[in-house]
Amino acid sequence: MKKVVFVVFLLLNVAVYADNTPFNFLRNIASARAAGLGGSFASVIDDPSAVFYNPATLSTIESNNFSFSFTKHILDVNSGNLVYIHDFDNIGRLAGSASFTSYGSFDYYDSDGNKLPGSFSANDLMFGVSYTNTLDTNLYYGVTLKFAYLSLEKASTSAMAIDAGLIYLLPDGRSNLAFSILHAGTQLSTLEGRKENMPLDVRIGANHRLRGLPLLANINFHHLADKSKNFISKFRNFSLGGEIYLGRYLQLRVGYNNHIRSKIASTFDKGMTGFSGGLGIVLEDFNIDYGFSQYGDGANLHRLSVSTHL
């Protein structure tokens, strides 16, 4: 039984996060496009899934946009999320979001390793409501209130958290600056009596669309709230992403996440760990995105996202 529980918690931290908290699933990369850009997404506009990185980006997205993403993790672990955005009279622009992860089914074993009858599952869920509005010319703010829930066999834990962010669209129309604080909250109920911290994250991001070249360049600094040796070392947690347009309908992406690469144990062959890629197909009524990421030798994640204007 202990071996099985260990495997479950190992999977809970499959994204290679330093803090051992069951709520690390809130940090999972939210879409195929974000994965292709190495998770450098806090300043990306016109994409519903950007709400998971910075709720202020909702101000750049048209009403009635819908996005769904699916991720195939290792073994039987699967996850997905969705976002719907709508403008309400006398209220403003709101978004509803949800995410889930299923860790599959697990067998029972005794202390000697003998299989016992029955099985159990592990799952996590998140539901959020976001609001955005204008703070000043070209400057927007956004907040998300969310509820997180995780179940493991007969035990469960839950939490409430808030995301908050700002995004500034430079007058040149080619550059954006962003700042966000994610997963600031508290645990509501414990898992077998253990009090867990929330995976607080602070992000700073910028992007720029080059002149004369159809390339969107992104850089993000993240995990800035994590403990580190000194202030400068915090900025080793960065990600880079580039998105190039090949004609009207096709986008190619490449990304690099230094945090993911640096957290892979030295005993493993890092290979292309931290690097990612993907492509996007832009059609009249909807977009289709594919993203590929590597988290170590043999740990390859594939993501598929679809977004449309309803």
Q: How many residues does the chain have?
A: 310
Mean pLDDT estimate for the chain = 87
DSSP string, 42-71: TT--S-GGGGGT-GGGGGGS-TTEEEEEEE
Assess contact for 239 and 263: CB atoms under 8 A: no
Give the whole-angstrom CA distance, residue 85 versus residue 63: 5
Q: Model confidence over 32-70: pLDDT tens digits?
A: 999 999 999 999 999 999 999 999 999 999 889 999 999
pLDDT at position 90, please? Answer: 86
Percent of the chain with pLDDT over 70: 91
Please give the helix or strand (H or E) that residue 34 lies within, else none: helix 32-36
Domains and CATH numbers, the chain: 2-309 (2.40.160.60)
Which residue, chain included where needed, has tokens 């911290």? 197
pLDDT at position 268, please? Answer: 61
By the 10 Å C-beta count (0-12 exposed, 13-18 middle, 19+ buried), 207 is classed as buried
Q: Model confidence over 74-104: pLDDT tens digits?
A: 777 889 999 999 999 888 899 999 999 988 7
Rounded to the nearest angstrom, the gap between the alpha carbon of residue 44 and the centroid of all alpha carbons in its chain is: 13
Single-letter residue type at 152: L
pLDDT at position 22, please? Answer: 83
The region of weakest confidence among 3-17, 95-109, 147-161, 214-228 is 3-17
Q: Model confidence over 152-189: pLDDT tens digits?
A: 878 889 999 999 999 999 998 899 999 999 999 999 99
Which residue, chain included where needed, has tokens 């594919």? 290
Single-letter residue type at 157: T
- Say which residues have a Cβ less than 8 Å from residue 262's Cβ, sequence separation at least 6: 236, 237, 274
Strand partners, 251: 245, 280
The region of weakest confidence among 13-22, 125-134, 217-226 is 13-22
Assess contact for 77 and 104: CB atoms under 8 A: yes
Predicted TM-score (pTM) of the model is 0.88
